[in-house]
């Protein structure tokens, strides 16, 4: 069985109909905002597309020892030609089985395999079948899009593939990142759902045409589903040359959506484009790229693969795909070495971006080399080690240079002027005047529940220089009102980009795409992954509120920074070597802090606060926010072997004060009995301070 990896998709809300972002009044020439695609039209399109999407399985090699493949395909001729991916039907595939909706199965034969495009054409014999037209041109960014998929072999269970709606969210170049996919080149990105088993399935445009074939490749900047454009297939594949196959190109009669979305969104983004900035940050240690290998390469490097029993080969195959997925998840937790987004907010060179984009990263170095640990893809379970010999130490990966590229292509070195970390923003300054800028004071709008939201970001080397992710304002007040929440997908690429509503007004700035933070130099195990409550494109995205940005902007310009929200304060830091676990260990105690005065020590484990059991450092912080400075709390801690006391007549005597209290309670001649008690846990009272 094959893994699609961590290609993440989300059913997105389509944003349609935009007005100018540079004028307060609406442009009378602009098209009025349009409604969402009519449900009836979407159902008609879905009904046809579902009948033309199939599940595919095949094998390479002998039946008893070969490798099996599965995925999705799209029927593109009435004669039974099907387009899919080489990750579903590779060269040399045998026993190709195609399952049509309704559990109807046919055998298929190879027609063409084009490895550079990672595309395969196969054909089934028999009676005519329903088919999809193909697009000869690229779709438009912002266009409504659909994906159809045999995700998790759903066709075998329900008799139908899945259908999801989103946007064409970007068109850019992807690189070969290793593993199962080898495609490198221009890709069509979508926010419609993509899941394991989706590879080979179609990306459908508004006209009901196949405009891309879903690939296993993803951009580590964006982490969204991508497809190989059919436009490239027409240019490079022999089967798709004019007159070879009876292909159809005209939109599906009566089933096109014709929403006008691309024109509306394009018009809006084009007005914002002159103010977008690309932020490139150079750090001491370069971005970490974890090694991935193909299954064929993995199999060739296993000793005596062919001589092993079928059970052993099956176990090793399962190990490969389990580890491949874990490697892909770990890569998602690493900051990629690519530029990200920002927006110019004044003509004299102030640029707003996410504080996440320009922060110093934590990094783990091997004690034996004082360098980041170089992870190697394991070949056996015994080779999968949590940490290298000698262990790891936590260090800082400092920022060494920040470069800003403006929309006109000019490059400028930048410095950080001020930051507001609770909001998640940073203000940069470049030495250039007369720059087009986004007038926040004029365009800022307060986010309200349910309002459409559009995150605009720079593209990672794209045919279109911007990306679009859409959703709604799903919570207008988060993090004490400094941020708001949206279901629009937020990732490493659009972090720091402006967020607009359907009138082109500025709702805020895209903040941190991952929580608690990125990891470098350490392999995170499956047991530790729950510590990340937010990963890129999780559907929970935090945006710095526009009104709060406007309030603080002038202070940031004169160098003021806010590093924490005023609130309750204990004065402890986490044990960085155990910060990813479920337990809460104290790694440091600030001198003179409430924690120091209460007697907390490095190495203590916090078990509960006022009876609330703690299961992570994040849980402790969130629960602490329920209190105010000056509140008294009781901490239950574990400190092995440290809680020694005498219990006399039921009263504890652990120090001189308690001994004096006991003596004062005894009557002359009164007998008493005592016992020495040693426990790992104890209760400590603590009065919270203020940050």
What 8-state DSSP symbol labels residue 102? T
For the chain, what are the domain ranges? 39-250, 272-357+404-557, 568-690
Q: How far apart are CA 318 and CA 33, in angstroms?
A: 50
pLDDT digits (tens, 9 = 90+) for 575-599: 877 777 778 999 889 998 999 999 8
CA–CA separation, 341 vs 370, rounded Å? 32
The class (CATH top level) of 568-690 is mainly beta
Do 517 and 494 meet the contact criterion of CB atoms below 8 Å apart?
no
Alpha carbon 104 to its chain centroid, in Å, reads 37
Strand partners, 172: 187, 462
CA distance 356 to 541: 13
For 659, phi and psi rounded to 5 degrees?
-65, -40
Asked if 30 contacts 224 with a C-beta cutoff of 8 angstroms, the reply is no
Same fold, 39-250 and 272-357+404-557: yes
Q: What does the alpha-carbon distance between residue 239 and residue 64 come to, in Å, rounded to a whole number?
A: 33
Q: Which parts of the chain have pLDDT scores under 70?
A: 1-38, 65, 254-264, 385-386, 462, 641-645, 650-652, 654-655, 676-679
Angle 536-541-545 (CA atoms, 0-180°, nearest 5)?
Answer: 140
pLDDT of residue 663: 79
Quick one: how far is CA 237 from the chain centroid? 34
Q: For residues 478 and 498, what is the distance between their CA atoms, to the nearest angstrom?
A: 18
| 655 CB-near residues (< 8 Å, 6+ apart) | none
How would you write 581-648 as a 3-class SS string?
CCCEEEEEECCCCHHHHHCCCCCCEEEEECCEECCCHHHHHHHHCCCCCCCEEEEEEEEEEEEEEEEE
The Cα 141–Cα 266 span in angstroms is 8
Question: Up-side HSE of residue 139: CA atoms within 13 Å toward CB?
Answer: 35
Please list the residues that pair with 278 across neighbouring strands.
Answer: 341, 405
User: Counting runs of H as helices and runs of E as strands, what totals does the chain give?
Assistant: 11, 35
| pLDDT score at 172 | 94
Specify the DSSP class assigned to residue 220: T
> How does pLDDT run across 401-443, given as a tens digit for each residue?
999 999 999 999 999 999 999 999 999 999 999 999 999 988 9
For the structural domain made of 272-357+404-557, what CATH number should be given?
2.40.10.120
Q: Report in angstroms the alpha-carbon separations of 28 from 18, 187, 442, 681.
A: 12, 36, 19, 71
DSSP 27-39: PTTSPPP-PPPPH
- Chain centre distance of CA 17: 28
Q: What is the pLDDT of residue 336?
A: 94
Rounded-to-integer distance, Cα 155 and Cα 33, Å? 38
CA-closest candidate to residue 470, choices 507, 445, 422, 415: 507
Tell me how far apart the terminal alpha carbons of the chain are, to the nearest angstrom.
53
Q: How far is CA 169 from the centre of its chain?
A: 15
Listed residue (107, 117, 171, 176) closest to 145, CA to CA: 171
**Exposed/middle/buried for 32, CB within 10 Å: 0-12, 13-18, 19+?**
exposed
pTM: 0.81
151: β partners: none
Looking only at the bridges linking them, the beta strands covering 226-229 and 276-283 are unpaired
For residues 537 and 568, the answer to whether their CB atoms sit within 8 Å is no
Interatomic CA distance for residues 219 and 506, integer angstroms: 27
Query: What's the CATH number of domain 39-250, 2.40.10.120, 3.30.1330.180, 2.40.420.20, 3.10.180.10?
Result: 2.40.10.120
Q: Which of 446, 493, 450 is nearest to 469 (CA)?
A: 493
Q: Cβ atoms within 10 A of the Cβ of 400, count? A: 9
């Amino acid at each position: 069985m094959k893994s699609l990896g961590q290609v993440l998709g989300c059913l997105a809300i389509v944003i349609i109909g935009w007005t100018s972002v540079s004028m307060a009044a609406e442009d009378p020439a602009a098209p009025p905002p349009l409604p969402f695609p009519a449900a009836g039209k979407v159902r008609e399109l879905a009904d046809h597309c579902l009948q033309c999407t199939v599940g595919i399985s095949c094998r390479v090699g002998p039946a008893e020892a070969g490798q099996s493949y599965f995925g999705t395909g799209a029927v593109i001729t009435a004669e039974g030609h099907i387009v899919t991916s080489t990750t579903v039907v590779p060269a040399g595939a045998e026993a190709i089985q195609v399952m049509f909706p309704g559990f109807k199965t046919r055998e298929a034969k190879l027609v063409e395999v084009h490895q550079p495009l990672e595309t395969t054409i196969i054909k089934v014999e028999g009676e005519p079948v329903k088919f999809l037209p193909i697009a000869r041109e690229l779709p438009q960014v912002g266009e409504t899009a659909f994906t159809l998929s045999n995700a998790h072999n759903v066709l075998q269970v329900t008799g139908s593939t899945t259908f999801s709606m989103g946007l064409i969210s970007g068109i850019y170049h992807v690189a070969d990142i290793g593993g199962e996919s080898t495609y490198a080149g221009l890709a069509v990105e979508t926010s419609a759902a993509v899941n394991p088993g989706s590879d080979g399935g179609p990306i459908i445009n508004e006209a009901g045409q196949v405009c891309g074939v879903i690939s296993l490749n993803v951009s580590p900047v964006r982490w969204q589903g991508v497809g190989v454009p059919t436009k490239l297939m027409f240019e490079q594949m022999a089967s798709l040359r004019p007159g070879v196959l009876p292909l159809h190109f005209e939109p599906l009669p009566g089933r096109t959506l014709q929403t006008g979305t691309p024109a509306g969104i394009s018009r809006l983004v084009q007005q914002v484009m002159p103010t977008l900035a690309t932020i490139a940050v150079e750090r001491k240690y370069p971005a970490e790229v974890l090694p991935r290998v193909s299954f064929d390469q993995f199999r060739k490097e296993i000793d005596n693969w062919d001589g092993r029993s079928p059970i052993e080969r099956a176990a090793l195959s399962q190990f490969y795909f389990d580890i491949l997925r874990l490697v892909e998840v770990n890569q998602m937790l690493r900051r990629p070495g690519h530029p990200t987004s920002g927006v110019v907010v004044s003509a004299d060179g102030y640029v707003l971006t996410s504080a996440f984009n320009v922060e110093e990263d934590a990094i783990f170095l091997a004690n034996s080399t004082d360098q980041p640990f170089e992870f190697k893809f394991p070949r056996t379970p015994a080779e999968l080690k949590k940490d290298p010999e000698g262990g790891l130490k936590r260090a800082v990966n400092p920022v060494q240079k920040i470069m800003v590229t403006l929309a006109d292509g000019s490059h400028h070195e930048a410095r950080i002027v001020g930051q507001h970390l609770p909001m998640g923003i940073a203000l940069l300054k470049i030495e250039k005047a007369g720059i087009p800028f986004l007038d926040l004071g004029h365009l800022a709008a307060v986010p309200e529940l349910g309002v459409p939201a559009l995150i605009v970001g720079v593209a990672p080397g794209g045919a279109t220089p911007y990306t679009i992710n859409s959703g709604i304002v799903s919570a207008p007040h988060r993090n004490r009102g400094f941020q708001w929440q949206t279901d629009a997908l937020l990732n490493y690429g659009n972090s720091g980009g402006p967020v607009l509503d359907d009138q082109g007004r500025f709702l805020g700035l895209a903040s941190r795409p991952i929580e608690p933070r990125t990891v470098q130099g350490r392999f995170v195990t499956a047991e530790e992954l729950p510590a990340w409550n937010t990963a890129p494109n999780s559907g929970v995205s935090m945006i710095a509120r526009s009104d709060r940005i406007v309030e603080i902007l002038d202070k940031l310009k004169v160098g003021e920074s806010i590093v924490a929200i005023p609130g309750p304060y204990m004065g402890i830091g986490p044990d960085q070597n155990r910060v990813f676990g479920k337990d809460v260990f104290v790694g440091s105690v600030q001198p003179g802090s409430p924690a120091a005065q209460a007697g907390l020590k490095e190495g203590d484990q916090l078990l509960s606060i006022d009876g609330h059991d703690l299961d992570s450092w994040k849980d402790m912080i969130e629960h602490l926010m329920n209190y105010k400075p000056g509140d008294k709390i009781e901490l239950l801690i574990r400190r092995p072997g440290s809680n020694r006391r005498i219990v006399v007549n039921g009263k504890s005597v652990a120090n001189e004060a308690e001994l004096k209290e006991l003596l004062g309670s005894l009557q002359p001649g009164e007998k008493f009995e005592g016992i020495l008690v040693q426990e790992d846990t104890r209760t400590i009272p603590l009065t919270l301070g203020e940050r």
